[in-house]
Amino acid sequence: MRYQTDRQRVEGLGSAKDGTVEWWKQRVAAVALLPLVLLFIFPLLRSVGSDFDDVRAIYEHPFNAIIAILFFITIMSHLRQGLQEVIVDYVHGKAAMTTALLVNTMFTTLIGVTGVFSVAKIAFGG
Amino acid sequence: MADVNRSNRPLSPHLSIYRPLWTMGLSITHRITGVGLAVSITMITWWFLALAIGEDYFEAANAVMTSVVGGFILIASLWALSFHFCNGIRHLFWDAGKGLELETAYRSGLAVMAGSVVLTVIGVLVVAGVL
């Protein structure tokens, strides 16, 4: 049995210190996504149902390629933070939460890297 | 002992103490659409990977996207994105301390619902080649 009180354990440690940074970063990503989503979604919707060469030509264009890469980088951080917030709220228990947060980071990083790699490969004509 | 009453303490967010309001529906929908969009972005990333790999793979991915199920997911994703986009703007205004009055929050909530439908229709028209 532990006789140390909760207060004893945390006294003098101060705050978590980086809570507001996460909050702020998510707002920065959200604001960046407003124009990025609009610029990203338009050529994407145009591409639905088009044939291979036409779609390749769209993403070989530097403007569309740069927008798509910026989109994937930004969504990677926004998605990770958003899902993290949901996990922290609904997943209980240290082991389950830690696992979920790890999987979240790996999943969102994989999405971001795959997206950036694919667009870069197309844009460089590979 | 310090932790005797731990299980009896009220824990945040103790939603049950509030009178239900329709704006709460918008709040949880923001989360649900956000999580749902994780599925959409996974599909889109897979589609981009297929486009990068080659024509055969792309044709397969495109066939999925243009199938009945794919089309349903696409329209659902469009609506989820439209909602999350509009309600996200609403949240950014709140973060700046604006629009927090009850009446304004009701009005912006209605605007978000209308906006999500309008943007979805615009998106579908772009896919159809009308716009």
Location of structure tokens 């228990």 = A93
Mean pLDDT of B20-30: 93
- Residue B7 is predicted with a pLDDT of 63
Q: Tell whether the model's pLDDT for residue B121 goes beyond 80.
A: yes
A83–B38 C-beta distance less than 8 A: yes
Report how many domains make up chain A. Answer: 1
- A5: which chain B residues are within 8 Å (Cβ-Cβ)? 2
> Could you give the CA distance from residue A16 to residue A74 in angstroms, rounded to a whole number?
25
Q: In this structure, is residue A6 part of a structural domain?
A: no
- Residue A95 is predicted with a pLDDT of 95
CATH of the domain at A50: 1.20.1300.10
pLDDT in tens, B75-109: 999 999 999 999 999 999 999 999 999 999 999 99
Confidence of residue B10 (pLDDT cuts 50, 70, 90): low
User: Would you write out chain A's pLDDT as a tens digit for each of its 126 residues?
Assistant: 677 888 888 888 887 777 788 889 999 999 999 999 999 999 999 998 889 999 999 999 999 999 999 999 999 999 999 999 999 999 999 999 999 999 999 999 999 999 999 999 999 987
Interface test with A, best of B40, B45, B64, B74 (most A CBs within 10 A): B45
- B37: which chain A residues are within 8 Å (Cβ-Cβ)? 79
Nearest to A77 by CA among A18, A19, A6, A28: A28
A30–B85 C-beta distance less than 8 A: no
> Could you give the CA distance from residue A87 to residue A81 in angstroms, rounded to a whole number?
10
- Residue B125 is predicted with a pLDDT of 94
DSSP A49: T
- Residue B100 is predicted with a pLDDT of 94
Residue A117's domain spans which residues? 18-123
Q: Tell whether the model's pLDDT for residue B5 goes beyond 60.
A: no
Q: In this structure, is residue A1 part of a structural domain?
A: no
Q: Tell whether the model's pLDDT for residue B25 goes beyond 80.
A: yes
B34–A111 C-beta distance less than 8 A: no
- B123: which chain A residues are within 8 Å (Cβ-Cβ)? 41, 45
Confidence of residue B117 (pLDDT cuts 50, 70, 90): very high
Cis peptide before B10 (omega within 30 of 0): no
Amino acid at A20: T
- A44: which chain B residues are within 8 Å (Cβ-Cβ)? 44
Confidence of residue B1 (pLDDT cuts 50, 70, 90): very low
CATH number for the region B21-128 comes to 1.20.1300.10
Q: In this structure, is residue A50 part of a structural domain?
A: yes
- Residue A11 is predicted with a pLDDT of 84
- Residue A15 is predicted with a pLDDT of 79
DSSP 3-state helix, strand, coil percentages of chain A (rounded to 5)? 80, 0, 20
A48–B127 C-beta distance less than 8 A: yes
In this structure, is the dihedral angle defined by the CA atoms of residues B104, B110, B112 and B115, taken in order, positive or negative?
Answer: negative
ipTM of this model?
Answer: 0.87
B48–A115 C-beta distance less than 8 A: yes
- Residue A8 is predicted with a pLDDT of 84
Q: In this structure, is residue A3 part of a structural domain?
A: no
B127–A49 C-beta distance less than 8 A: yes
Q: In this structure, is residue A68 part of a structural domain?
A: yes
